[in-house]
Structure 1
């Protein structure tokens, strides 16, 4: 097994064990990935804004056909970040994954 095959195997095993799923408009099946919503906490003067930047990271193999502006529904409990989002940006991270930057839809 070459390096790329080993990496794909490890990524698949991690997604199976720890991954999340999202429904993305236009995709036939749920897309596996990792959801996170880190707090950015930019400061304006002495005020913390408390902004979040939700991200859904997917493997490049699963990212074909995913575009900015598409709706995404994350299959998690609301307290864990589940809900409705819009993909605002695609950011490849250089490791075979693409971070889909999200904006929450209320």
Structure 2
């Protein structure tokens, strides 16, 4: 078994067990959602910026583009809600981080 095949099996087991549910333009996708609650700062100035991420597998990223709508199925206090894709960041190891912005 090739290394990439082994990692794909591990990823499948992890995502099926621990993943959050998201919907990208209505299509259900499993991923790992994170939203940093601490605001990044520039010097002593709080920027007020947050960059929530929804990490999905490369196979689930087909057709995902900037400006698409993503809904995260979590309670609002955990960051669930409506987001817009700002950019895609592939990690080169089979996963893609969707950098999100909270929708108005």
Task: Tell me the TM-score normalised to structure 1 length.
Answer: 0.88
Structure 1 stretches of 4+ moved >4 Å: none
Kept in 1, the 8 Å contact 2:39–2:46? The answer is no
Asked whether the equivalents of residues 51 and 101 of structure 2 are also in contact (C-alpha less than 8 Å), the reply is: yes
Aligned residues: 103
Structure 2 portions without partners, runs of 5+: none
Residue-by-residue CA offset, 1:45-74 (whole Å, 9 max, x unaligned): 523234211010111011001111100000
Distance in 2 between the 1:21 and 1:102 partners? 15
Matched, 1:84 2:60: no
Q: Could you tell me which residue of structure 1 aligns to residue 60 of structure 2?
A: 62
Query: C-alpha distance in 2, partners of 1:26/1:65?
Result: 12
RMSD (CA atoms):
1.5
Match for residue 9 of structure 1?
9
Contact 1:40 1:53 in 2 (8 A): no
Take 2:35 and 2:16, find their aligned partners in 1: how far apart are those partners? Answer: 20
TM score, norm. by length of structure 2: 0.89
Q: Which moved more, 1:80-89 or 1:31-40?
A: 31-40
